Structure 1
C-alpha cells in the first residue's frame, strides 16, 4: 500500500477534509500517478453535495507523473499525463471514437468505485469510494486507467494542464467539435467552461462572440479572451439585446443549466442555428418547440466537448503552445494544504479555476 493524502468527503453535506489515506498499486491497465496539480470543477461540488456513499474522494482534473504501472498499462513510468474522464473502450460509442458517450459513462465516472477489495483507496484500513471520473485526484496520488491518462508534451506546466481534463476540453470542444466554424456565437455563463467556449469561438474564427454573465470581472476577462460583445443579464433583457445587435446568432453555448437561460439561448438562434447545452443542473427545461421546428434549430447536449481526449487534449496543448489558448488567465493556484480555501472559492465563484498544487 502507498501512503497518500487526500481531500475526503467524510459525511454527506460537509466539505471534503484533508486526511491521510492509502492506495493499492496499479493492476491491469492502470497507472499510479503522482498528482502535481488538480483543478476544482463545479461537477465536483455538485456531486459532493449529492453524495450518499461516504467516505469518498472527488477530483477529476488531475495532472502529474506516472510512477507505477500495471502489467497491461499503455503508459510508462515517468510520463507526464493529465487525467480525464473514464470510458470502457469496448462499447459502440467508444469503438467509434465517441468515448464521451460511453455506455458505461455513469458507472465509470459519477458513481465511483465499489467499496470492496477492488477500490484503490483505503481510510483507516477500510476501502472507501474512489474512482470518481476514473481517478479521484483530490490527492497526492491517484490510480487511473490508461484510457483516461493522456500524455502531455515534455515540460507542460501541470497547473495549466489540469483544466484540460474537463472544463477546457468541454468548452473549447463544444465549439470546435460541435458548433463548428460559424460567424457568430453567444456564450451564456463566463465561468471556466464558458470562457473556454469564448476562446474556442475565437479560435474557430467567429467574427461576433457574445459573452453573457452578471459578474463584471468575468465579462472583462471574456473580452480579453476574445468576446467582441459582453452583456450583463441583470441590467436588461440580454436575449433582446443579442437579437437587436445580430438578428440572431449561428451558435450558442449554455453553461448555466438554468431553464430560463436555456430557453433564452434557443430564442437568440438564427435559422438552422445550434445550441450546445453543457451545464449540469436543472434536469428539465421548457423549450419553444414551434420556434425550434420553424427555424430548423438544433439543441444538442454536449458531454466533455464531444471529444476523444487522447486526440483532443494534445490538440489543446498545441493551441496553448501557439498562444491561442491562454490557460493561465483562468487559473488561480492554491497550496494543497489550503484545500478549504480553494473549495470555498470554487463554491462562491470568486475564482474561475482554482488549481491545487499537491507538492511539485
Structure 2
C-alpha cells in the first residue's frame, strides 16, 4: 500500500516527506494506522548520525494509532484496537525474563538497526529499500508495520492524539522516579533539566508525594511551568550556585535526584548535591564517549547510589497503562507538556524542540 512518511536521509538534512510503498505485515507484525506520534530527542540524535542507524530510514518511536491488520502469529491485538507503541525487545534474554526489558541484550540491534532481524525493510521507494522498524515501529509514517512486542493495547477512551509520548520520553522520566528511585513520601527530590523527560520526572515525584521538589534549569519560562506542575522550589543555574542552594533547601543534601540533560557538568552537580545515602539517576542521553568526573574520595562517604536508566526501566505493558490511569485521574497532567503540529510540519516541530520553544512536540496525521 502507499503511505506518507518522513524519511531521514543524512546528517543535518530536514526529513523528506514523501510517498512510500509499505509491505503487508509479516509474521509477528501489526499494521497500525497512526493517529499521532511524539518527536523525541533520540530521533534527532539518529537523524544527525550521533547513533549509527543506516539511512535512508523512517524514524519515530512514540506512535499511537489503530490496528488495521495483523500478520501471522499475532495474538495480542486485532483490527480496530487502539494501541500505543513502545520499544522492541527479544523477550527471552535474562533482562527481559526478569522484568527489565529496556536492558535487553539485543536492544540496540532491535531498535536502531532500521531493519528486521533478517535484514529486510517494510518500506521502499520505487524499489529502493527504506529503513523501517526503528524501535520496532518507525512511526513517522501514516501507516507502519510494527513488531507485536512494541504494541500496547490502550482503552478506546484514551486520547490517541496525546498518548504518543507515553511510549518513550514521558516514562523515561517518570519511570526513573517510580521504578528506579522509588522515593518515600516526604523525601526530597531534585530534577536537573525541565524538558519533557525532566518534567515527567517532576510529575512522578509529585505522584510519589516527595517534598520538597526542586527543579533546576536555565530557562525561566520552564521553571515557571515547573512550579505550576508541582515544584516547591526552582533554581536557575545561571544565577545561583546549584549545589549550595540544594543543600540549603534540603538541610544538607537531597535524597533523590534525576539528571535529564546528559551534560557532564550537570551530572557532577547532581552527584555533589546528594545527601547521605542519596540516590541519583541519569536519564539524559549523551553522545557515546562522553565522560564525567566525580569526586569519589568524598562521594564514597555519603553512601550514594548512581543509576543509569534507559526507558524508565519499565515493562511497557504494565507501566504505560498505569500512567494513563494516573492521567485520567488528574494526577499526571503530562498533556501540559505537549504542543501538536500537523504531520506536514514535522521539521518545524523538530526545530521548535531543539530551540526549546516546545517541550514535547506531537505530530498529528
List per-residue Cα deviations over 1:19-77 (Å, max 9, x = no partner). 11111111111101001000001111011101562211111000000101012112111
Is 1:34 aligned with 2:36? no
List per-residue Cα deviations over 1:92-136 (Å, max 9, x = no partner). 111111101001000011222169872111122221211111111
Q: What stretches of structure 1 move > 3 A for 4+ residues in a row?
A: 114-117
Q: Greater CA deviation, 234-243 or 9-18?
A: 9-18
Rate the CA distance shift 1:165–1:52 in 2: closer, same or farther, 3 A: closer
Runs of 5+ in structure 2 lacking a partner? none
Query: Is the contact made by 1:168 and 1:196 (CA closer than 8 Å) also made in structure 2?
Result: yes
Please give the TM-score of this superposition, normalised by the length of structure 1: 0.96
Query: Is the contact made by 1:100 and 1:303 (CA closer than 8 Å) also made in structure 2?
Result: yes
Give the Cα–Cα distance (whole angstroms) in 2 for the partners of residues 115 and 187 of structure 1: 38
Query: Is the contact made by 1:12 and 1:54 (CA closer than 8 Å) also made in structure 2?
Result: no
Give the Cα–Cα distance (whole angstroms) in 2 for the partners of residues 11 and 321 of structure 1: 40
Runs of 5+ in structure 1 lacking a partner? none
Task: Please name the residue that 1:177 is paired with.
Answer: 179
List per-residue Cα deviations over 1:178-237 (Å, max 9, x = no partner). 111231111000000000000000001101110001111111111111111111011121
Query: Is the contact made by 1:87 and 1:99 (CA closer than 8 Å) also made in structure 2?
Result: yes
Query: Is the contact made by 2:121 and 2:131 (CA closer than 8 Å) also made in structure 1?
Result: yes
Task: Please name the residue that 2:60 is paired with.
Answer: 59
Task: Please name the residue that 2:317 is paired with.
Answer: 310
Give the Cα–Cα distance (whole angstroms) in 2 for the partners of residues 165 and 8 of structure 1: 20
Query: Is the contact made by 2:65 and 2:83 (CA closer than 8 Å) also made in structure 1?
Result: yes
Matches within 5 A, 1:75-114: 75-113=77-115
Give the Cα–Cα distance (whole angstroms) in 2 for the partners of residues 66 and 271 of structure 1: 49
Q: Greater CA deviation, 210-219 or 153-162?
A: 153-162
Please give the TM-score of this superposition, normalised by the length of structure 2: 0.95
Equivalent pairs, count: 357
Is 1:249 aligned with 2:233? no
Is 1:294 aligned with 2:301? yes
Instruction: Tell me the SS of whatever aligns to 1:286.
Output: coil
Instruction: Tell me the SS of whatever aligns to 1:7.
Output: strand
- CA RMSD of superposed structures (Å): 1.4
Is 1:274 aligned with 2:279? yes
Give the Cα–Cα distance (whole angstroms) in 2 for the partners of residues 10 and 181 of structure 1: 43
Matches within 5 A, 1:259-270: 259-270=264-275
Give the Cα–Cα distance (whole angstroms) in 1 for the partners of residues 32 and 326 of structure 2: 25
| Of 103, 112, 121, the match for 2:123 | 121
Give the Cα–Cα distance (whole angstroms) in 2 for the partners of residues 278 and 185 of structure 1: 15
Give the Cα–Cα distance (whole angstroms) in 2 for the partners of residues 200 and 117 of structure 1: 39
List per-residue Cα deviations over 1:323-351 (Å, max 9, x = no partner). 01112201000011111211211121210
